[in-house]
Amino acid sequence: MSTDDLETDLTRKTENSPRELLTRSFFFLCAALSVVTTISIVALLVTEAAKFFTLTAPLMGVTGETASLVDFLTGTTWQIHNQEFGVLALVSATLMITIGSAIIALPLGVATAIYLSEYASKQARSVLKPALEILAGVPTVVYGFFALIYITPAIGVVLPGIGTFNILSASIVVGIMIIPMVASISEDAMSAVPDDLRQAGYGMGATKFDVSTGIVVPAALSGIFSSFILALSRAIGETMAVTVAAGAQAKFLNPLDPSSYLEGALPMTAAMVQLLTGDITGGGLAYRSLFAIGLVLFVITLIMNIISDYVAQRYREAY
């Protein structure tokens, strides 16, 4: 018997052993459970959101009040009791918080990752990286109260006219929240860059800064960009921090107007919390709007994750 035949026979016997079959079945069930959970969530959002819209509600056996899909997607007014459901009023606040947090978190996160990967000693890295992970583990509601009690008064010293609840403080605190995600994933991507590339740069007379920014960062670009998308997806889906800090009054704001960030608004996640904790009737129009908002939020985050996967595959470097 040849060596290849012997290896094949041993592999077949190992794979067919009861222990191996049990282990394989366990891991398959774990994978299947995650898939079934995802499909169940998507099915719930789609079926319940369909009951909210005029075109699909009759197909779901729903009678009574419904909302127009066009008005929902293009409307700029969100008022529950007046039965106005323009989701753009909520999307604008979410978009503003995402933009504000990105301005804070992306450059600081990448700079932190560069320091941890290229400049920090092993001792400094052993302290700073766990500290970042602890920062990521702080409950989000604590961040919300931190924004309300400390960040907003600090902003008020510079901008006395700012309200208690505002988009700016919510953006700052969400930016602080997602820094660890950007820094950790980007640092892992930079650490995966082979040292041969660094040594080649030093051999050409490059400085530490030149190697870090001109060689390591471009080589790890796919991982860094993926960290951006994942962090911004986290910012879009953040709930408790923005519920506490951003305000509870829905209004359509211009994300390109800097003065709009000084006003309070109602992001999508905070609107969902408001609907769940309010006095709305289960099964009514306002209750069904909760699932319509959730579906919009799901589609936005799904698109961002698809973009992240595409960029990671398109620009991934194999070493």
- How do the domains of the chain map onto residue ranges? 16-66, 69-313
The residue assigned the tokens 């932190």 is 112
Cβ proximity of 72 and 292 under 8 Å: yes
The residue with greater pLDDT, 141 or 81, is 141
pLDDT score, position 11: 59
pLDDT score, position 105: 93
69-313 classified as CATH 3.40.50.970: no
Short-list 227, 191, 197, 231, CA closest to 211: 197
The residue with greater pLDDT, 105 or 5, is 105
For the cut 60, the answer to whether the pLDDT of residue 39 exceeds it is yes
Mean pLDDT of 155-169: 87
Q: How confident is the model at residue 12 (pLDDT cuts 50, 70, 90)?
A: low
For the cut 60, the answer to whether the pLDDT of residue 278 exceeds it is yes
